[in-house]
Each structure stands twice: as C-alpha cells, then as structure tokens.
Amino acid sequence: MSAQPALAQKYERRRDDQLLPELWYSKDNHCKPHFHSAIELVYVTEGSLHVCLDDRQYDVSAGQLMISSSYTVHHYYSPSPNTEMLLIIPLTFVPSLQKTLRDHAFRHPVYDLKNDKKMLSVLELMRDGWADYNTETKKGLCYTLLGLLIANIGLTSQTGSKRTAQMKDMLIYLQENYQSPLTMEGMAKKFGYSKSRFSHLFNETFGCPPGAFINALRCQHAAIAMLESDQPLLEIAMSAGFECPRTFYRVFKQHYDMTPSQYCKAHRSAQPSSP
C-alpha cells in the first residue's frame, strides 16, 4: 500500500500528547493507517499479525516483535486468532534517545525474540509488574528495551515518499522550534509554500491548524516540566514558548481540559510513590 493517498487522516495526535508509555494486551488486533512520533511495539505471543509499514508488508508470527519507528505510517490486522502485547513509548519519555529515534528508523521492523533471552527478560518484567511500577522503573525498562533493539538491529536514516518525508519534516521542524517565536509566513517560506497553501496543507494532513499544533507541543512541554521540575509556572510557560501567562493558562486549559494546577494535582497523585 502507498503511504501517500490517505495521509491527511493518519496523524494520531493523541499518541503524541502522551507523557507516559502505555502497555496493554490485545486479541485479534487491528488498526487503521496512522503515524506518530512515539515508538510503537507489538509483541505477538500467539497466532500471527499482518503489518504494513509505509509501503512494505510483513507477517509477524508468535515470538516476533513488530517495531514501528517514529513517523512510520503503519496499520495491521489479524488474519487468524492471535494475542499481542502492545507498548507505546513517547520519545519525550526517553529524552537522551529522542533525536536519534526521531531521525532514524530501526533497520529491521520485525525481530525474532525466540533466542534473545535478554530481550525476553525485559518484556517479561514489563508484563509482570507494569501497573505497579513507578515512573523511574518504567523509564529504565524502556531505555533498556530500546537500547537492546538499537544494539541488535541497528538504525538507518528515515525513508519514504516525497510527500510523506515533507510531512515528517514539518513535524520535526515544529518539534525543534516550538519554543521560539513562529509565524505562519516564516513556516510557509521554510517549506516553499504560500501562507494560505501551507495552512491548508497542514490542516488537511494533521487535522488541525499549525498554530494549534504548536500550542499542543508547548502544552506538552509545560506539562512535563511541571511534573519533573520545581520551576515557577511563569518560567515554565515562557520556556515552553508562550508569550504571556494569560495565553498559557487559556491554551493549557483548552488542551487538557483542566488548569495547570489541577493537572499537577491529578497527575502527581496518580504516580506511584517510590519504594
């Protein structure tokens, strides 16, 4: 399948709004074509899964791991009964690997785990206690898993159709520059479009105007900083790229449906305490 024709409906913002990784089990899984910056891993434990990554197709059997690299358009379905363990790792959760994994793809998207005792041990640790692990433990396991995959599989430069590559370049550019002042004119010029054409193309592809996407990145930055640092909210808002506190509070509440203080209270109380 070509990654190009239906690209306009494939960017999954919800995944890129995640601050923490998610792990769950599924039976007879399927999903429509989509992409996001987060790493998506599917470990097939029974049966098989048919996977399409960009324009290549794979059959993933029991004991194998499917790896959807950052910004890879992917979908899958179950040709027969199966069970899988799914893991979504936001790149912001592994900051020292963020740029590397954003700009590169895993060399082989299907990895056979049958003889890899180290990888299986990490997956077993994740499976057995994920719900009870604190954030630091989850981060350590994610770093270990990704590190082993990089060592065993290797990375290569991202590839894809010209249109897909440009869409990815737009996302990468905004992720690298959202903390700086950005204008529609400047972004359009950067990618060789008129202001109106750039706005239309972005909205068609990602389902929101460029300004809303930038604000989502800034809100995510602020949300992480509020949970991981003791900076005053004003400093956090400014470092995230907001021009004034009023805009920060308004946009944050629109994005998360709660105020910054309510967000902190809800998420800090939800985090397990350290042992």
What was the pLDDT predicted at 5?
Answer: 35
pTM for the structure as a whole: 0.73
What was the pLDDT predicted at 166?
Answer: 78
- With contact defined as beta carbons under 8 Å apart, do 206 and 37 qualify? no
What was the pLDDT predicted at 14?
Answer: 73
Residue carrying the six token digits 């470990």: 43
Q: How would you list the strands of the sheet with 64-68, edge to edge? A: 22-27, 83-89, 39-46, 64-68, 110-112
**CB neighbours (10 Å) of residue 228?**
10
Which residues fall within 8 angstroms of residue 163, CB to CB, at 6 or more apart?
4, 7
**CB neighbours (10 Å) of residue 13?**
13
Tokens for 87?
């893991």
Tokens for 203?
């909205």
Q: List per-residue pLDDT tens for the chain, 275 residues long.
A: 333 333 434 677 777 778 899 999 999 888 877 888 899 999 999 999 999 888 789 999 999 999 999 988 888 889 889 999 999 999 999 999 999 998 899 999 999 999 999 999 999 999 999 999 999 999 999 999 999 999 999 999 876 556 667 777 888 889 889 999 999 999 999 999 999 999 998 888 777 899 998 998 999 899 989 988 889 999 999 999 999 999 999 999 998 899 999 998 887 765 544 44
Backbone angles phi, psi at 240, to 5 degrees: -75, -15
Nearest in space to 38 (alpha carbons), one of 75, 70, 85, 68 = 70
Domains and CATH numbers, the chain: 7-157 (2.60.120.10), 178-270 (1.10.10.60)
Q: Return d(Cα 42, Cα 36) in angstroms, integer.
A: 15
Contacts 24+ apart (CB under 8 A), 204-213: 204/8, 205/7, 205/8, 205/11, 205/167, 206/11, 206/13, 206/167, 206/171, 207/8, 207/9, 207/11, 207/13, 208/13, 210/174, 210/182, 210/184, 211/184, 213/13, 213/174
Which residues fall within 8 angstroms of residue 139, CB to CB, at 6 or more apart?
93, 94
Using CA atoms, how far residue 63 sits from 23, 111, 259, 262, in Å, is 17, 9, 44, 43
Q: Return d(Cα 4, Cα 27) in angstroms, integer.
A: 29
What was the pLDDT predicted at 161?
Answer: 59
The residues that bridge with 60 in the sheet, in sequence order, are 49
Radius of gyration of the chain (CA): 19
Nearest in space to 5 (alpha carbons), one of 41, 33, 37, 46 = 33
